[in-house]
Amino acid sequence: MSKLNNRQIEVAEVVFPCENLAENLAFFTDTLGFRIESIYPADTPRVAVVAAYGTRLRLEEKTGVAPDTLLLICRRAEVEAGAHDELVAPNGTRVKFETTDIPPVIPDLVPSLTVQKIGVQSNWGIGRAGMQYRDLIPDRLGGRYIASHIRITEGGPVPDYVHHHHILFQLIYCYKGWVRVVYEDQGAPFLMHPGDCVLQPPHIRHQVLECSDAFEVLEIGCPAEHVTLVDHDIALPTEQLRPDRDFGGQRFCFHQAVETDWTAWRADGFENCDFGFVGATGNLVSVGLVRTVAGSTLPASSHQNELLFNFVLQGSMTLECEDNQVWQLQAGDAYTIPAGKDYSFSDCSADLEFLEVLTPG
Ligand SMILES: [Fe+2]
């Protein structure tokens, strides 16, 4: 670390505009030997920081202009103290002072009713580490939430690296197949099977190691766009086992399908299995499964949560919302219902089961 007019500079990044991030990222990593330091957003990367030979470049997808900005990354206290006036070099290069040591920016909620049917609406895109992403809430509720259906068709070792996320909360639900993962201070690598779910607290280091063929997970998080940071300095698994470790006010949680314990849901004729994430997150998010008793219906009612996200895991049902909007739903379909909007279920199949994610806001 060195000083510049009383600023404690930790690292410098040169902004490097490029028209195609994937192409340029491959060139810098594969051809020139740079390594990835961070990348975001995970589903459609537009920014990646690479480093080598004492240089960090921030590859940003945009058209046209030559590199013209030097970012000097400072500690948060100094940026907040006002030591971040922009400078201009003689050749016109702008020198900006930024910090990464800040809480994630959480956009304001823009409530909306969204329904995403699998099949015709499935636009699978290529995201981070070669995984395929399907966006389950395309409008992101104003950028506040993201829900992704992620799949890997051909199993084997996953080209992942030890990384962590700058998020408010994030959870992973194993839908199909299996995956072997490892988390900081949570012991040896372990397998996730269908029905298993992990709560990933902010900045817990983790790595996806390998998965089966036809592997599918659901990933739900806040905010929708966040930075994924790569940690080159620790190896997983870590030596210590600290299941109760505090990560930004949250603790790691692993719900296993074999522990499923069904209790009465908020409506008659349905049962619920709660994953226990309310306590682990300080009441940020509630996650669980809901299943039906044959022939059940959900009378028209509303909720008061900030987020109500459901993903149909198996079976079928009819969802009806006020204004006579009706959808026939099946496994793979997902929806969000805004607070205060009446909705009901009918024609529930005997095997209906869905994942429900609620945030009180
Ligand atoms: Fe991750």
Ligand 1 mean position, distance from CA 346 (Å): 37
Ligand 1 mean position, distance from CA 118 (Å): 24
pLDDT in tens, 162-200: 999 999 999 999 999 999 999 999 999 999 999 999 999
Ligand 1 mean position, distance from CA 319 (Å): 32
> Tokens 């068709």 label which residue?
153
Distances (CA, A) of 240 to 45, 181, 187, 235, 271: 33, 17, 7, 12, 38
Distance CA 320, CA 335 (A): 12
Q: What are the DSSP E strand ranges found in 26-116?
A: 35-40, 47-52, 55-61, 69-74, 87-88, 94-98, 114-116
Distance CA 72, CA 87 (A): 11
pLDDT in tens, 203-259: 999 999 999 999 999 999 999 999 899 999 999 999 999 999 999 999 999 999 988
Distance CA 208, CA 191 (A): 10
Ligand 1 mean position, distance from CA 270 (Å): 33
Q: At residue 91, does pLDDT exceed 70?
A: no
Ligand 1 mean position, distance from CA 37 (Å): 14
Q: Which two tokens stand for residue 327?
A: 């959808």
| For the chain, percent of residues with pLDDT exceeding 70 | 93
Distance CA 150, CA 257 (A): 19
Say if CB 180 and CB 190 are below 8 A apart: yes
Give, as one character, the DSSP assignment of residue 281. Answer: T
User: Nearest Cα to 166, choosing from 123, 118, 110, 226?
Assistant: 226
Ligand 1 mean position, distance from CA 140 (Å): 19
Least confident among 96-110, 250-264, 297-311, 313-327? 96-110
Amino acid of residue 3: K
Ligand 1 mean position, distance from CA 207 (Å): 7
Say if CB 359 and CB 285 are below 8 A apart: yes
Q: What is the DSSP string of 187-199?
A: -S-EEE-TT-EEE
Q: Which two tokens stand for residue 63?
A: 């058209």
φ and ψ at 178, to 5 degrees? Answer: -140, 160
Work out the pLDDT band at 324, boundaries 50, 70, 90. confident
pLDDT of residue 239: 95
Say if CB 162 and CB 206 are below 8 A apart: yes
Ligand 1 mean position, distance from CA 164 (Å): 6
pLDDT of residue 78: 64
What's the mean per-residue pLDDT of the chain?
90
Q: At residue 289, does pLDDT exceed 80?
A: yes
pLDDT of residue 323: 81
How close are the terminal C-alpha atoms of the chain, in Å?
Answer: 40
> Tokens 């209790």 label which residue?
263
pLDDT of residue 82: 65
Ligand 1 mean position, distance from CA 77 (Å): 28
Model-wide pTM > 0.75: yes
- In angstroms, how far is CA 155 from the centroid of its own chain? 21
User: Nearest Cα to 342, choosing from 359, 361, 323?
Assistant: 323
SS3 88: strand
Ligand 1 mean position, distance from CA 41 (Å): 11
Q: At residue 1, does pLDDT exceed 60?
A: no
| For the chain, percent of residues with pLDDT exceeding 90 | 65
Ligand 1 mean position, distance from CA 163 (Å): 6
Ligand 1 mean position, distance from CA 178 (Å): 16
165 vs 64 pLDDT, higher one: 165
Evaluate the CA torsion angle 334, 103, 254, 163 in order and state its sign. Answer: positive
User: For the chain, give me the number of helices (H) and strands (E)?
Assistant: 3, 32
Q: Which two tokens stand for residue 64?
A: 């046209």
